[in-house]
Amino acid sequence: MRWMYKFPLRLRSLVRKNRVEKELTEELRFHLEKLIEEKVAQGMTPEEARYAALRELGGVEQIKEECRDMRRVNYIENFFQDIRYGLRMLARNPGFTTVAVLRLALGIGANSTFFSIVDGFLLRPLPVRDPDQLTSIYPMPDGSSSYADYLDIRRQSKTFEGIAAVARHGAALNINGETEIVKADFVSGNYFAVLGVVPVLGRTFPSSAETGAGSEPAVVISYGLWQRRFGGAPDTVGKLVRFNGRNAVIVGIAPDWFHGLQRGFWTEVWFDAESWVQREALANRDYRDYELVGRLRQGAPLSQARAEFDTNRAPPLRRVPCKRQRIDSCP
Amino acid sequence: MSKPTDLVQGTLDLLILKTIAIKPLHGWGIAQRIRQVSKEVLQVNQGALYPALHRLEQSAWIRAKWGESDNNRRAKFYSLTPAGRKYLEQEQANWQRLSAAIGLVLETS
């Protein structure tokens, strides 16, 4: 039960240093006074007695320093003694030790498991190039944007290296005659380029200039889907998948760590919005299906981007010359 | 005149513990008592006494409490803790064993 005495003492020496120091002074002064009294009783004058006592006591400061040393040295010494004592007691009570160790192991295990989950879903930065440059852009208070508004913002913004649009949906995807419901993102053509995600196989969406009229819309599939449905075959690029009665051609396979931008929402296919979605739907400013992600220019502060959008407050919509018209008729 | 620090190491601790085992004493009282009981043979050097007291307190063999001395002055009184009492018994037994052994060697050779 020595720790019951030791613990408060050590705490006191640590947090009430001044008081401990004062007490040390007082203790030694008491001793000095007693010594003087003794000498006076032996017949010295008070003056003589004082000098004699100080001489005999020898360096009060030195004694104090030694007392302080004792307190300090003992921290370390006792610390190791306590550890040894603790280990001895644990060895002496194997039952208690086992239960305690098991409980700790369970507690730590449960916590670290939970942390891994939270870390994976919430804490880890997006697995893309320089995630700190990525910014959500909210043209409307609810964060949504129509594709037409997106194109206007992209054209007018100066502070972003690139801005991408994503609409999240599900898709009943038919591969080789078997249908599977997967999470599907309808994205702007520059989506992968803006995020800095490079396909492990194939390429990202071709620009409209590269694809002739009447060619199949392009789709990028996830690494998981590629493994699951195509067995990771290298000739998967160029194969067709069917969705909503239309064919799309697989142009690339995303890296295995990339599942889209939303945590806990594992995207399996990315459609090129412009080649898949009907032009009318893209041009309709009431179809606010898209979320915008912008990559700031290197070194451009967020405040600059904010300022840009501030002067545009309300404007992104109002400045648009041809509201609610077909996008291809815009000047 | 022999000082306890000249004696076997740890002897001062033993003397202090034994002295305050009867009743709590302040540093001055401990020094006086050791001197009286040893018939003026053992003079405790204050420079060694106070560090030893603080060390013993830190080790929780003794504990300190402020109280009033004979003429109403505040003084720090030291007393044994239960652990200190056990430690004293043990050290005292050790000491007796040791001195008996030394005695044996000195008598026979």
Q: Which of A3, A9, A30 sits opposite B73 (nearest CB)?
A: A30
Check residue B7 and give its pLDDT: 54
Chain A: give the shortest CA distance to residue B103, in Å: 34
Q: Which residue of B has its CA nearest to A33?
A: B28
Whether A6 sits inside 8 A of B26 (CB atoms) is no
Closest CA to A160 of A130, A135, A138, A185: A135
What pLDDT, in 10s, does the model give residues A47-62?
Answer: 888 888 888 877 788 8
Q: Which of A10, A30, A66 sits opposite B26 (nearest CB)?
A: A30
Check residue B85 and give its pLDDT: 94
What pLDDT, in 10s, does the model give residues A91-146?
Answer: 999 999 999 999 999 999 999 988 888 777 676 667 777 877 888 888 777 778 88
Query: Rounded distance, CA A192 to CA A103, Å?
Result: 47
Chain B: give the shortest CA distance to residue A71, in Å: 6
One pLDDT digit (tens) per residue for chain A, 331 residues: 677 777 777 777 777 778 888 888 888 888 888 889 988 998 888 888 888 888 887 778 888 888 888 777 666 767 888 899 999 999 999 999 999 999 999 999 999 988 888 777 676 667 777 877 888 888 777 778 888 888 888 888 888 889 999 998 888 888 888 888 899 999 998 999 888 888 998 888 877 656 655 677 889 999 999 999 899 888 888 888 888 888 888 999 999 888 888 776 789 999 988 888 888 888 888 888 898 888 888 877 888 777 777 655 544 444 444 343 333 333 3
Chain A neighbors of B27, CB-CB under 8 A: 27, 30-31
Q: What is the pTM of this model?
A: 0.48
Alpha helices in chain A (DSSP H): 3-15, 17-41, 46-57, 60-92, 94-118, 147-156, 191-195, 223-230, 273-276, 279-283, 302-311, 315-318
Domain boundaries, chain B: 4-108
Q: Which of A34, A71, A78 sits opposite B28 (nearest CB)?
A: A34
Residues near A263 by Cβ (< 8 Å), separated by ≥ 6? Answer: A120, A121, A122
Whether chain A has a CB inside 8 Å of the CB on B94: the answer is: no
Task: Judge whether A323 and A317 are in contact, CB under 8 Å.
Answer: yes
One pLDDT digit (tens) per residue for chain B, 109 residues: 444 444 555 788 899 999 999 899 999 999 999 989 988 888 888 788 898 998 899 888 999 999 888 778 889 999 999 999 999 999 999 989 988 999 999 988 6
3-class SS at A135?
A: strand
Chain B neighbors of A5, CB-CB under 8 A: 60, 63, 81, 83
Residues near A162 by Cβ (< 8 Å), separated by ≥ 6? Answer: A154, A190, A193, A194, A294, A295
Check residue A319 and give its pLDDT: 42
* Number of Cβ pairs < 8 A linking chain A and chain B: 76
Whether B81 sits inside 8 A of A58 (CB atoms) is no
Check residue A153 and give its pLDDT: 86
Chain B: give the shortest CA distance to residue A101, in Å: 29
Chain B: give the shortest CA distance to residue A70, in Å: 5
DSSP A1: -
Check residue A323 and give its pLDDT: 40
Instruction: Note which residues in 48-87 of chain B have CB less than 8 A from chain A.
Output: 50-55, 57-60, 63, 66, 69, 73-76, 81-83
Which whole-number Å values give the CA distances from A188 to A166, A202, B38, in the listed order?
7, 18, 99
Q: Which of B28, B58, B63 sits opposite A70 (nearest CB)?
A: B58
Check residue B2 and give its pLDDT: 42
Kindly write down the DSSP assignment for every residue of B87-98, as one continuous string: HHHHHHHHHHHH
Interface predicted TM-score (ipTM) of this complex, two decimals: 0.81
For the domain covering B4-108, report its CATH number. 1.10.10.10
Alpha-carbon torsion B56, B57, B62, B68, what sign? positive
Domain boundaries, chain A: 3-92, 131-329
Chain A: give the shortest CA distance to residue B75, in Å: 6
Query: Rounded distance, CA A269 to CA B40, Å?
Result: 98
Check residue A81 and give its pLDDT: 83
Alpha-carbon torsion angle B50, B55, B58, B61, nearest 10: -100
B68 has which bridge partners?
Answer: B74
Chain A neighbors of B52, CB-CB under 8 A: 70
Q: Which residue of B has its CA nearest to A61?
A: B47
The strands making up B62-68's β-sheet, listed across from edge to edge, are B25-26, B74-80, B62-68
Check residue A321 and give its pLDDT: 40
Check residue A123 and give its pLDDT: 67
